[in-house]
Structure 1
């Protein structure tokens, strides 16, 4: 069993029914690519990471490259990941 399969098994045992993927994209200056959810969408107006599919503005109404010390308002799990990057660096 792979590590991923084990994580899925554990998640399902704990009642998790869906798994989502996000991608933190950094440019050469250490800025993070963020996309903003459309106002009428669930969590409208919040910024998030691209979800691993090609970025189009059909689900999002804006995008920006944001420095780690000047990020837009993001949701809970995105904030946790960005905080980790701020504390531990980007691995560059």
Structure 2
């Protein structure tokens, strides 16, 4: 079964729902020349100043993969060419006090530039050993 198959992704959602989690986020791990694209949350946002992979909420009626493609284009202006792997999930407390599960996928993009930010105040391509201020979950995701 491939990572991008509807059955695989539906299974991820079903497992999360069985655990009582109903808010989902899709995260894109975009690598280029041994570095990963990171974006910094605006200072006045929830978890402001933290660096993260491009990610966003799965909207009603969307699959996790639909959100992955849409959010990557919206947040950084890059078009996903291929989903190459599923590298796991992590749960975190969201701004409403509930639990969100972020599903993370490695992807390739049509072009790595230009990065056009709409929801973040900075971006960088970072080596795994030289990460800026990221959450423990993102650190584990990028260094495991």
- When Rg is computed on C-alpha atoms for both structures, the one with the higher figure is 1
Shift of 1:12: 0.9
**What TM-score, normalized by structure 2, do the two folds share?**
0.53
Paired residues for 1:3-82 under 5 Å = 3-27=8-32, 29-51=33-55, 52-54=71-73, 55=76, 56-82=116-142
5+ residue gaps in structure 1? 85-92
SS, match of residue 26 in structure 1: strand
Q: Where does residue 88 of structure 1 map in the other structure? A: none
Root-mean-square deviation over aligned CA pairs: 1.7
**Aligned residues between the structures:** 83
1:3-31, Cα deviation, whole Å (9 max, x unpaired): 3222222211210011111111111x201
5+ residue gaps in structure 2? 1-5, 56-70, 77-115
Higher relative contact order (CA 8 A, sep 6+): 2
